[in-house]
Amino acid sequence: MNDKQVKFAVGSTLIVAAIGYLIITGISNTSTYFFTVSELKAQKVSFKGTGLKVKGNVVQGSIQRDPDDYLKVRFAIEENNSNLDVRYQGVTPDMFKDGGEVVVEGTLDEHGVFHANTLLTSCPSKYEAEKEAGKMHPGTLPDYQKQPAPDFKQTETLPKAAI
């Protein structure tokens, strides 16, 4: 191999190694474990400080808001008689209520309290039944294709403005 080929091989190897390093660190930084409440409680491994997503139903009567800061919310989620205390600070979704299904994303502290930085609610199943019955889901737009398209070629019907 001549000098030019050696430089090309070394440069290519460095580029491939850099791309591989970026992919591996990107995946490890953004990966989170997804559990239900009962699966998380059944784990023998400690996930304290690790990014987690946990799915469960809000326990009836557990939602408590801080009177000094309405954005701070404490509640519990349950699944199969396993409970998890959750702390969240932020705007809660409109569908957030007692008994509603939620997915929280955050970390677990040393006391077993989940500190969520994301709170998601799922759409109630009644919308799926309405969709199957042909009703519109809230937030969807009507089908405007059924209306005739305007004819823009008839410009003589438009009023003329004098300048």
pLDDT, averaged per 10 consecutive residues of the chain (163 residues), comes to 86 91 75 73 71 85 85 88 87 84 85 86 61 57 61 61 68
pLDDT at 150: 62
pLDDT at 15: 93
Domain boundary assignment for the chain: 1-31, 32-125
pLDDT at 106: 86
Report how far apart, in Å, the C-alpha atoms of 158 and of each of 131, 147, 150, 154 are: 41, 21, 13, 8
The pTM of the full predicted model, rounded to 2 decimals, is 0.56
CATH top-level class for 32-125?
mainly beta
Give the distance, in angstroms, between the CA of residue 132 and the centroid of all CA atoms in the same chain.
Answer: 25
